[in-house]
Chains A and B, each alone.
Chain A
Amino acid sequence: MKDITWNENGHPGEAGQPEEETTEIEGWDDDKRPAEEGTKEEGQPEDANLPVVSIKGLRKSFKDHEVLKGVDLHVNKGENLVVLGKSGSGKSVLIKCLVRLEWPDEGELKVFGKDISTLSYDELNEMRLRTGFLFQNAALYDSMTVRENLAFPLKQHKKKVAAEKKEELIMEMLDNVGLADVIDQMPSKLSGGQSKRIGLARTLILRPELMLYDEPTTGLDTGTAKEISELMIKTKNKYNISSITITHDMACARMTADRIIMLKEGVIVAEGSYEELEKSDDEWIKSFFS
């Protein structure tokens, strides 16, 4: 893994950031990804100033239990929004609603400017291709090797890309996460931290513009959790990815967050930078920072 420079807040340095090479793939544009920013796709203008994610009045219940009670938030381009909250506060449900793994009961959810509730299955898949999701337990396909795990999304979506280029891309992604040596191993042989990193590599292989991290450091030791947080920053800078991180790991939040919102019983109770929230007088908020 290559080193990342840090400023005093734990954020990556603006200057001196090493420019890393990314593999240019022929035939990559065979997908239905909209045109580059600044250009307009037919009938669907995409404004660069629009938030990548915009949620208004999101409500979600499971039977009688209301998990989300009118959540409003937005994520700007290139920003990492960290959602903090205790277990059961609806954090994971929030990001699952964004990729329609859960259906919201009420509210407007826009991703890349499109209301996801109105998308057809094909349109939803186009949106999902631009969105990466790192699951809490990495969700690697346990009947496939690491190589096959990474090759699987490429095989499904990048049929025109030559086999050598796919292999090149797999190696690039594994190099990014520092695990090129486990390429032929089965997921069952990997540690928790390694699984998370391979999960991240698999997600990044489709070059998402938005990443959703569901408790990326949960269940990991402090050192490995720090490595994962560093990787998140590295990938954000390298690929200019916007992201939402669900966590209750304060070290991860401090390192990765551009902005934090705090979710309590399905309602946003605070919003700000790590430093601003750290100074809060609210007992509940203080309990996270103590």
Chain B
Amino acid sequence: MPSSLNPYQKAKITVTQKRSDLKTFFYGTGDMVAFAGRFFREVWRPPFEWREVLYQCYLVGYKSTFLIGLTGFIMGLVLTIQTRPSMAAFGAISMIPGMISVSVVREIGPVITAIICCGKVGSRMGAELGSMKVTEQIDAMEVSAINPYKYLVVTRTLATTLMIPLLAIFADVIALIGGYVAMNIHDATTFRHFFAVAMAHLEFIDVFPAIVKTFFFGFVVGIIGCYKGYHARRGTESVGVAANAAVVTGSLAVFVIDLLAAQITDLIT
């Protein structure tokens, strides 16, 4: 902004820029919603690309199990180690398994799984589709009368929607094992007793909404990753931008959905 301008002119320019940014944001959001809406139209239309869906499930699910498992284990360990002193001060050490199970199942497991998948899977999808866009592979599909949305977006989004809930359940179980291991550093407890207490504290309202929200997490991770890649501009730089935007926007969307899910669960109970 030129320094010769008076404060009124500077303010006017700033307001105009902000208004333009806001307009771009709303256009972008609207475009993304339309892109996501197209998924629900295309998913029912034949031909169904089952083979590609299975391959994507393998990439999203199986290929992420080690990372999710390790993260879940560390999550359980850290949570137990850090809460033990406070619980011990209140003489509530026996409550630790219940506290771990409720916090892991309700919140930490699903959110951490979604965030890790967003970084691992969403960025891969953004970069992969972005690179396909830049090298005209998506255009090549289009001109070969192959629906690229159906082949690339629907398959990938279905895979994340189906696999992230499974990964979240897997992370929950491994986190509980991590909690059990950490518990045994200071206190002796059997595996059976730890799990019995942990499960006894879990109710339907802890488990069901947590599982339901992971489907939404999976959907947004997939659709945002694909959207960012599909709409990459020309040039190699845009591939990196697409991958980065997929992670940032996807993570943000996960937290927004988590907030909504918490509010809805709160209203129900």
Contacts and interface: CB of A to CB of B under 8 A. Distances in A.
A111 B77 CA distance: 66
Contacts of A182: none
Given A128-B144, A129-B145, A156-B144, A101 B139 contact: yes
Contacts of B143: 99, 101, 128, 131, 133
A227 B223 CA distance: 43
B142 interface: yes
B132 to A, nearest CB: 8
B145 to A, nearest CB: 4
Contacts of A179: none
Contact of B135 (A99, A129, A133, A139): A139
Nearest to A124: B145
B145 A128 contact: yes
A156 B137 contact: no
B142 A101 contact: yes
B13 interface: no
Contacts of B144: 128-129, 152-153, 156-157, 203, 206
A126 B143 CA distance: 10
Contacts of B237: none
* Interface size range of chain A in the complex: 20 to 34
A133 B131 CA distance: 19
A126 B144 CA distance: 10
Nearest to A214: B136
Contact of A142 (B137, B139, B146): B137
B199 interface: no
Interface in A153-207: 153, 156-157, 159, 203, 206
Interface in B99-156: 128, 131-132, 135-137, 139-140, 142-146
B130 to A, nearest CB: 13
B59 to A, nearest CB: 11
Contacts of B139: 101, 135, 139
